[in-house]
Chains A and B, each alone.
Chain A
């Protein structure tokens, strides 16, 4: 079976949009393994820089209902822990991951608080923080800025789980259809389309010029209580203006080529579609289209194509401890982990372009949820797993302190931020950092 990606062409050569020819995967691996050719890398930073310091990337995978604790958390601790049933598919990665028990955001029980997964802050408390409830992925995205074509990419199927939030405290929605994700990441425009797009960007730019000042004058006349909200509007105009300018620049460059048709043949299951999403992200990492990606497993998705699952995801979490319903839940959770596992294998099979080790060694991977376990509506003991990223991993760790208090999850985020190259020692509710060395 051929691999989904194909060799990179020269960017100066403008390709027709589709269909694209199939390439053998070996072609591309040879291309990467040998002298890395300039065109493969997308980023605006020069290839020389890329060769000297490979970028660090971030992949976060989340779900809205946490995990059935008995099946998620390994029974024993330490580097030599026994893999748990939900994490079974990650056994191959056991030495290069850390499962963290006893960490949370200190939230009370109930739905709706899982949206604080990547910040530790609820929208309703966001005003108290300088970066509002900005999520970790968006913090990383802001750090990367326009060095790459897309500062971040969020993907899911059907719906999102409200995981990504901007510095303005506004939700960033994932792209919830693989075809749309493909178009967004890889679809190249014809010269004619580019011209139209260029004109449109120009026209939209002028419209923003016309209305932008109005947002500013408005803020001047408003009362205190509204000013925060009006800030949002002003920021939006500014950010969109910058974004349009950047896009005009990127418009001239061709995107890397990629083929997802094999996932879309015949009955495409959610397994196929998640694999397509993860493969696109792996390739986007490889070609430096982006360095920050998030993937969500929503509540609304129909998981019944998984063997042995008949109920809704949410319904399964409230299983009333019935074994048959609980086992459906564990199947859904294992499914999520298995798609992640496959994606990590993929990342691990790719040599870091211009660097040591595999892509996985340069990609911080975080799996988890802002909810502990849906069955009890508990937001304690969140299921958290870190893999890759070149960390000296620690197996299964109990993160609670000597008095038995759980660790703020933001401590882990401080560690991940530092690994990502952000010099900070505090993030929202953190009280320190999590001990995870990297070389």
Chain B
């Protein structure tokens, strides 16, 4: 089994290796003897780690221990504060010594050869690749890949080879998905007739959002179809699903109404937010800003696959603040509005409300039932629409000619399949290799020329050469092109990239650097700019333990987790495009936030709408990843916070240190939010147990600093003790206000470094040593994403070189990525 770098440090000090070949009972290295032997020798060495286990120098068995020792010394955790105090020169001497010993390790031949890991492409890459192979914009609007088996993540990564399994279920779904895509791309038979649908508002229906599927959909009125419940999807009655594959021209006459009429605190829609209309065609979505009160015509020209569900939506995260969030309760807002702005009218209307409740008593005037007919919330209105299609400028359609040529025949199968297969397999293909596919086409000739060719295309796309990345059959150039393209674009390499690599245009660091920068700027690398930070920072888990809905209403009602993810992605994208130094990612003084996040972050002079803006945090508590809600929320429980979860996240994702999980026989006590003890007091008690302390003294200081951030990432000065005896009966807004305990967010590292709170902690994280750890962590995560497996222990020296190159360029992102791509660890 390969030893991976990630597991290295996890074994830190608790690893007890069986007695290794050591040179007797004496520690021979002078340096070690001087600095470490005080604690780490004898029958019961500190942390159950004896210097004797290191042996003469690093070999296959002891390499992990050497590395762990280096990590601890570099992080200035060893020697500990109460041990020997090292001068800077002495520490450097110790680090150099350890590095030297690690360098003496020679990896076995197989590892040295660095075989590329073969892996299945994930569903994301599958969709992109097929679209590029078939020369189409996307795999189609009929959700052809919806039945693919979802990819499991490995610590957030969807490119992890060992996790991307393959079974008959996968294979079968691939066959089905590819068939559906090909069927919606290559058309046979006679040219279908075009039809024109004139859509009146009364023919537009708003689907019910109730689980009750029998409840009828709501039609528009004669003067227009108004969008009410933002969760409801509307559709054209005559065009609910697309009947035939082809181009459709869709024109929608629409207007945005009543923006800002209701107070934004009631609706959750900011006055400055435009009213929008979203058109949903399977996975393809289009968004339009509607001008206020002024009728506009939006136009779409779309290739729609037969069976596409054509849907329209009012995309907003508002209109969920009243009641339990269901739309019907929002009708209360109309009562608020009249009461505040048109009190006379309010009184008049109130007199007309005669409807009785089920028990015969009169309803309250503000009861939502009374106001349903008077709704004037912000909303899009559709006045009319025209759909025309399918339209073909030629028959067969141009996209088909581009793929198959003017008059495709079975006899021409070889020349038709070749370019498709070469794109799909990411290499050139011999006549011999193509033969079975040509034979398959011939075997199916009874289906007709084009249908038979489609069988060949399906087979090409079910082949392992397509589905599996990094195959040994690729030449080094082809493999590099493929890896480069899947890293940045999550898709097959375009011809130009193949050519420039063959021509040696990406041989040097400089050339790669320029290409990466060009791809960041042109949008070609958008897949990377989204998928990599999403995986690295494990954003998929943000709501695995969402803040409690009773106590953190804003978080749930305004779908703030979406904003938190968006904040990270925008920030990363900005940093990458501007080529900022990597450490700025961690602790710059700014971020990108909107009004929903400003509310959580307690910012009053920030953005006033849903639009994200750059914002500098003057209080130095936030800015960069360390202050982001995504990190603070996904590492917290729903009612309380856990310094350990946050510490482990910081260590694993920001510093590349992997603390060992607690031993199996540890019983962890259940958090009790009713007790008047702080988490710190509980953990201190825990640390008085010596077996726990040896690890936790290295872990906990990375987490305490964040204690001022609550479960939703908002700032707090004190803990609130939740008194559940009172909670049972008290109304939701007055629950659990029994007592407040001030927060202690200070801590000290074993090295003696200490901080009083988040501001000082951020300075510590900005030290040169930790900046270097952060960059190394980034490099390791990037390699994991790009290679489909974590770097190996034996890659250590090479990774150090990459960090050095990065350092020579101020740790700038693009140069760091270029160094990784140019390194033998990737190539």
| B is bound to A | yes
Binding site for B on A (CB under 8 A): 106-111, 123, 127, 162, 166, 168-173, 203-204, 206-211, 213-215, 218, 221-226, 229-230, 232-233, 235-237, 239-240, 243, 264-269, 310-312, 314-315, 318-325, 373, 375-378, 380
Whether A206 and B455, one on each chain, are in contact in the complex, defined by CB atoms closer than 8 angstroms, is: yes
Whether B161 and A314, one on each chain, are in contact in the complex, defined by CB atoms closer than 8 angstroms, is: no
On chain B, the residues within 8 Å of A378 by CB distance are: 667-668
Query: A235 vs B727: C-alpha distance in the bound complex, in angstroms?
Result: 56
* Of the residues B118, B443, B459, B463, contact of A229 by C-beta under 8 Å: B118
Q: A207-B440, A377-B668, A378-B668 are in contact. Are A320 and B463 (CB under 8 A)?
A: no
* Of the residues B472, B663, B725, contact of A221 by C-beta under 8 Å: B472
Q: Chain B's nearest CB lies how many Å from the CB of A405?
A: 11
A-B contact pairs, 22 of them (CB 8 A): A107-B664, A108-B662, A109-B668, A110-B661, A111-B544, A169-B165, A170-B170, A171-B165, A206-B444, A210-B459, A211-B462, A214-B463, A214-B465, A222-B471, A236-B166, A268-B211, A311-B638, A315-B545, A318-B545, A320-B637, A320-B673, A321-B672
Looking at B282-290, B345-353, B546-554, B614-622, the stretch in contact with chain A turns out to be B546-554
Whether B549 and A310, one on each chain, are in contact in the complex, defined by CB atoms closer than 8 angstroms, is: yes
Query: A240 vs B170: C-alpha distance in the bound complex, in angstroms?
Result: 10
* Of the residues A203, A215, A226, A232, contact of B115 by C-beta under 8 Å: A226
Whether B167 and A166, one on each chain, are in contact in the complex, defined by CB atoms closer than 8 angstroms, is: yes
Whether A240 and B472, one on each chain, are in contact in the complex, defined by CB atoms closer than 8 angstroms, is: no
Interface centre among A106, A207, A221, A237 (most CB of B within 10 A): A207
On chain A, the residues within 8 Å of B243 by CB distance are: none
Whether A232 and B165, one on each chain, are in contact in the complex, defined by CB atoms closer than 8 angstroms, is: yes
* Of the residues B171, B459, B724, contact of A236 by C-beta under 8 Å: B171
A-B pairs, top 10 by smallest CB distance, nearest first, are A320-B673, A170-B165, A322-B724, A239-B168, A240-B168, A170-B167, A223-B115, A321-B672, A315-B638, A108-B664
Q: Chain A's nearest CB lies how many Å from the CB of B809?
A: 33
Interface centre among B169, B170, B722 (most CB of A within 10 A): B169
On chain B, the residues within 8 Å of A107 by CB distance are: 664
Within 8 A of A (CB), among B767-804: none
In chain B, what residue has the closest Cβ to A168?
Answer: B167
Whether A267 and B166, one on each chain, are in contact in the complex, defined by CB atoms closer than 8 angstroms, is: no
Query: A353 vs B312: C-alpha distance in the bound complex, in angstroms?
Result: 52
Q: Chain B's nearest CB lies how many Å from the CB of A277?
A: 16
On chain A, the residues within 8 Å of B214 by CB distance are: 265-266
Q: Chain A's nearest CB lies how many Å from the CB of B638?
A: 4
Whether A170 and B637, one on each chain, are in contact in the complex, defined by CB atoms closer than 8 angstroms, is: no
Whether B549 and A267, one on each chain, are in contact in the complex, defined by CB atoms closer than 8 angstroms, is: no
Q: Chain B's nearest CB lies how many Å from the CB of A424?
A: 24
Query: A268 vs B211: C-alpha distance in the bound complex, in angstroms?
Result: 6
On chain B, the residues within 8 Å of A321 by CB distance are: 670-674, 724
Q: What total of chain B residues lie within 8 Å of the partner, measured CB to CB?
A: 73
In chain B, what residue has the closest Cβ to A215?
Answer: B464
On chain A, the residues within 8 Å of B459 by CB distance are: 207, 210-211
Whether A224 and B638, one on each chain, are in contact in the complex, defined by CB atoms closer than 8 angstroms, is: no
Query: A207 vs B454: C-alpha distance in the bound complex, in angstroms?
Result: 11
Query: A211 vs B433: C-alpha distance in the bound complex, in angstroms?
Result: 11
Q: Chain B's nearest CB lies how many Å from the CB of A250?
A: 15
Within 8 A of A (CB), among B111-131: 115, 117-120
Query: A325 vs B668: C-alpha distance in the bound complex, in angstroms?
Result: 20
Q: A108-B662, A206-B444, A239-B168 are in contact. Are A267 and B455 (CB under 8 A)?
A: no
Whether A237 and B171, one on each chain, are in contact in the complex, defined by CB atoms closer than 8 angstroms, is: yes
Q: Chain B's nearest CB lies how many Å from the CB of A142?
A: 13
Q: Chain B's nearest CB lies how many Å from the CB of A50?
A: 28
On chain B, the residues within 8 Å of A243 by CB distance are: 168, 172
Q: Chain B's nearest CB lies how many Å from the CB of A263?
A: 12
Q: Chain A's nearest CB lies how many Å from the CB of B674?
A: 6
Whether A207 and B458, one on each chain, are in contact in the complex, defined by CB atoms closer than 8 angstroms, is: yes
Query: A233 vs B471: C-alpha distance in the bound complex, in angstroms?
Result: 13
* Of the residues B2, B637, B670, contact of A225 by C-beta under 8 Å: B2
On chain A, the residues within 8 Å of B212 by CB distance are: 266-268
B372 at the interface (CB under 8 A from A): no
B669 at the interface (CB under 8 A from A): yes
Whether B662 and A109, one on each chain, are in contact in the complex, defined by CB atoms closer than 8 angstroms, is: yes
On chain B, the residues within 8 Å of A380 by CB distance are: 667
Query: A262 vs B46: C-alpha distance in the bound complex, in angstroms?
Result: 67
B362 at the interface (CB under 8 A from A): no
Q: Chain B's nearest CB lies how many Å from the CB of A437?
A: 32
On chain A, the residues within 8 Å of B211 by CB distance are: 267-269
On chain A, the residues within 8 Å of B210 by CB distance are: 267
On chain A, the residues within 8 Å of B544 by CB distance are: 111, 314
On chain A, the residues within 8 Å of B640 by CB distance are: 320
B728 at the interface (CB under 8 A from A): yes
In chain A, what residue has the closest Cβ to B2?
Answer: A225
On chain B, the residues within 8 Å of A106 by CB distance are: 664
Q: Chain A's nearest CB lies how many Å from the CB of B381?
A: 30
Known: A173-B169, A232-B165. 10 other contacts (CB 8 A): A111-B544, A170-B165, A171-B152, A203-B444, A207-B458, A209-B440, A221-B473, A266-B212, A323-B728, A324-B728
Whether B463 and A211, one on each chain, are in contact in the complex, defined by CB atoms closer than 8 angstroms, is: yes
Whether A320 and B672, one on each chain, are in contact in the complex, defined by CB atoms closer than 8 angstroms, is: yes
Q: Chain A's nearest CB lies how many Å from the CB of B634?
A: 13
Q: A207-B459, A240-B172, A315-B545 are in contact. Are A264 and B638 (CB under 8 A)?
A: no
On chain B, the residues within 8 Å of A235 by CB distance are: 167-168
In chain B, what residue has the closest Cβ to A240?
Answer: B168
On chain B, the residues within 8 Å of A110 by CB distance are: 661
Query: A111 vs B667: C-alpha distance in the bound complex, in angstroms?
Result: 15
In chain B, what residue has the closest Cβ to A221?
Answer: B472
On chain B, the residues within 8 Å of A237 by CB distance are: 168, 171
* Of the residues A168, A222, A315, A324, contact of B724 by C-beta under 8 Å: A324
Q: Chain B's nearest CB lies how many Å from the CB of A309?
A: 12
B150 at the interface (CB under 8 A from A): yes
Query: A315 vs B543: C-alpha distance in the bound complex, in angstroms?
Result: 10
B602 at the interface (CB under 8 A from A): no
B175 at the interface (CB under 8 A from A): yes
Query: A267 vs B464: C-alpha distance in the bound complex, in angstroms?
Result: 46
In chain A, what residue has the closest Cβ to B473?
Answer: A221
Q: Chain A's nearest CB lies how many Å from the CB of B521?
A: 36
B437 at the interface (CB under 8 A from A): yes
Query: A266 vs B455: C-alpha distance in the bound complex, in angstroms?
Result: 44
In chain B, what residue has the closest Cβ to A108?
Answer: B664
Within 8 A of A (CB), among B439-475: 439-440, 443-444, 455, 458-459, 462-465, 468, 471-473
B497 at the interface (CB under 8 A from A): no
B436 at the interface (CB under 8 A from A): yes
In chain B, what residue has the closest Cβ to A202?
Answer: B444
In chain B, what residue has the closest Cβ to A173?
Answer: B149
On chain A, the residues within 8 Å of B662 by CB distance are: 108-109
